Chain A
Amino acid sequence: DIVMTQSPDSLAVSLGERATINCKSSQSVLYSSNNKNYLSWYQQKPGQPPKLLIYWASTRESGVPDRFSGSGSGTDFTLTINSLQAEDVAVYYCQQYYSNPPHTFGPGTKVEI
């Protein structure tokens, strides 16, 4: 199975500032035939199920604010939250969907104000 790691475990960001979360996969999740990275990001607020934010490493799901952006390729990825809002307090998970399931998740990064 592909192992996902994230850093940092948690971070505190002031309102209006930028949060940066890193995700690394144990093997490349870039599919050469279509040049797509099979990497997604989920947001989980307390007491709620996860919510899909970004897929193909950088495509925002419909309705996701544009302050959320994803980047990276191969094995190294980043989720950036620009101008952090109070409602962005959550745990963020990366997930690979490159191989057949199980589509493993990272350990999560907690974002606090």
Chain B
Amino acid sequence: QVTLRESGPALVRPTQTLTLTCTFSGFSLTTSGMCVAWIRQPPGKALEYLARIDWDDDKFYNTSLKTRLTISKDTSKNQVVLTMTNMDPVDTATYYCARIRQQLADYWGQGALVTVSS
């Protein structure tokens, strides 16, 4: 059974760095072809693809946000971590992690709402 769970702060101050952790089970990021992605959704708005990390440690980032994003993995803990620097109120969103298999997000976490406010 594949599960993913996002964890991190619910409230972040402007200019701070956000660190989110995706803890997963039911698959391994050492398996060829497996990936984990972070996708966010501002309240009432569309999905936005942020970053992806692959089993071979390849990393991909949203073009407009890549200077602020870092994705990493800890395969021993079955975790993927996303950091986003210089947070702004417009970054208020639900942040999802998802398993990516054959380029498709077939399992998603329930999401973590992050509010950026002073």
Contacts and interface: CB of A to CB of B under 8 A. Distances in A.
A103 B103 contact: yes
Interface string A94-113: 01010011111111100000
**Interface of chain A: mostly helix, strand, loop or mixed:** loop
B105 interface: yes
Given A38-B103, A49-B96, A93-B46, A101 B110 contact: no
Contacts, number: 53
A17 interface: no
Interface in A24-58: 38, 40, 42, 44, 48-52, 55
B62 interface: yes
Interface bracket on B: 20 to 34
B109 interface: yes
B56 interface: no
Contact of A101 (B37, B48, B96, B106): B37
A104 B49 contact: yes
A50 B46 contact: no
A49 B108 contact: yes
Interface of A: 1, 38, 40, 42, 44, 48-52, 55, 61, 93, 95, 97, 100-108
